[in-house]
C-alpha cells in the first residue's frame, strides 16, 4: 500500500472521518515510515492553526442595535395595563367583601338591622350574607376561583333582585335595607369580570404557546 493511501487516512483522522483502513495498520506504517510520520505531524500542526485562527475584526454594532430597539417592548405596556386592571378589580372586590361582611355580621350575631324577622330567620339571613362576603373575599385573594363562585353568586342575585323589588313596591322592606343589596350586585359584576378576564387570558395565543412549550419540555 502506497504512502499516499496512508496520508489520506491521516487526513481523514484529523477531520474525524473514517480512515478507510484499520487504525492499527496506520500506526504500524507511521512507526516504520519517517516521511509519513513527519507529514502527519505537519498536517496536525497546520490543522490546529487553521482551527485556532483568530476571527476577522468586525465593527461593533452594539450601540446601533440598542438604539434601534424600542424603548418599551410592544407587549410590556399592555401587560402593565392588564396587571393594573386586575389589581384594581381585586381591591374593589376586597372592599365589597369587607362591606358585605360588615352588614352581615351584626345581623348574624345580635339580630341588629333585621327588623321584626324571627330569630332563626335573622340568623339564616346573616349566614347567607356572610357566605356571600366570604365568596367575594376568596375570589379577591385567589382570582382563579371566580368561575367556580359564579353559579352560587349569580343564582342568588337573580333570585333576590326581583323579590326585593316586589317587596320594595309593596312596602315590605325599607329602601335603605334594599339598597344594601347593591353591594351584592356590584360584587357579582366584579366576580364576573374577573372570570371573563381569566378565561380570555387562558385562551390568548401567548399563554397557549407557553403551555405547548411546557408540555414539550415535560415530554
Are 36 and 83 found together in one domain? no
Q: Match 324571627 to its residue by C-alpha cell.
A: 118
> What grid cell was written down for 178?
334594599
**Total number of domains constituting the chain:** 2
The structure's pTM equals 0.49
29 shares a domain with 85: no
Alpha-carbon distance of 108 to 131, in angstroms, equals 11
pLDDT band at 91, cuts 50/70/90?
very high
| Domain extent for 143 | 75-218
List all residues 6 or more positions away from 111 whose beta carbon is below 8 Å from its beta carbon.
Answer: 119, 122, 123
Which pLDDT tens digit goes with each residue over 135-183?
999 999 998 888 888 888 888 888 888 887 887 777 766 666 667 778 8
Query: Looking at the domain assignment, is residue 70 inside a domain?
Result: no
Can you list the alpha helix ranges (DSSP code H) found in 20-174? 23-32, 34-51, 62-68, 74-109, 119-141, 146-170
pLDDT one-digit tens code per residue, 43-57: 888 888 777 766 677
Do 46 and 84 have their domain in common?
A: no
Residue 47 and residue 79 share a domain: no
Q: Considering the domain boundaries, does residue 183 fall inside one? A: yes
Half-sphere exposure in the Cβ direction for 27 (13 Å, CA): 3
Give pLDDT, residue 63: 78
Amino acid at each position: 500500500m502506497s504512502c499516499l493511501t496512508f496520508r489520506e487516512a491521516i487526513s481523514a483522522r484529523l477531520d474525524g472521518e473514517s480512515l478507510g483502513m484499520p487504525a492499527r495498520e496506520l500506526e504500524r506504517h507511521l512507526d516504520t515510515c519517517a516521511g509519513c510520520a513527519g507529514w502527519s505531524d505537519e498536517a496536525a500542526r497546520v490543522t490546529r492553526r487553521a482551527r485556532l485562527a483568530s476571527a476577522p475584526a468586525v465593527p461593533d454594532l452594539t450601540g446601533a442595535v440598542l438604539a434601534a430597539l424600542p424603548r418599551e417592548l410592544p407587549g410590556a405596556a399592555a401587560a402593565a395595563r392588564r396587571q393594573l386592571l386586575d389589581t384594581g378589580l381585586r381591591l374593589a372586590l376586597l372592599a365589597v367583601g369587607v362591606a358585605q361582611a360588615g352588614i352581615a355580621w351584626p345581623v348574624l350575631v345580635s339580630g341588629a338591622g333585621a327588623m321584626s324577622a324571627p330569630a332563626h330567620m335573622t340568623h339564616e339571613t346573616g349566614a347567607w350574607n356572610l357566605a356571600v362576603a366570604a365568596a367575594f373575599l376568596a375570589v379577591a385573594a385567589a382570582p382563579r376561583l371566580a368561575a367556580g363562585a359564579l353559579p352560587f353568586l349569580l343564582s342568588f342575585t337573580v333570585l333576590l333582585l326581583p323579590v326585593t323589588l316586589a317587596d320594595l313596591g309593596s312596602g315590605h322592606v325599607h329602601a335603605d335595607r334594599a339598597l344594601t343589596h347593591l353591594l351584592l350586585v356590584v360584587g357579582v359584576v366584579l366576580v364576573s369580570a374577573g372570570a371573563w378576564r381569566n378565561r380570555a387570558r387562558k385562551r390568548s395565543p401567548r399563554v397557549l404557546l407557553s403551555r405547548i412549550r411546557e408540555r414539550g419540555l415535560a415530554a
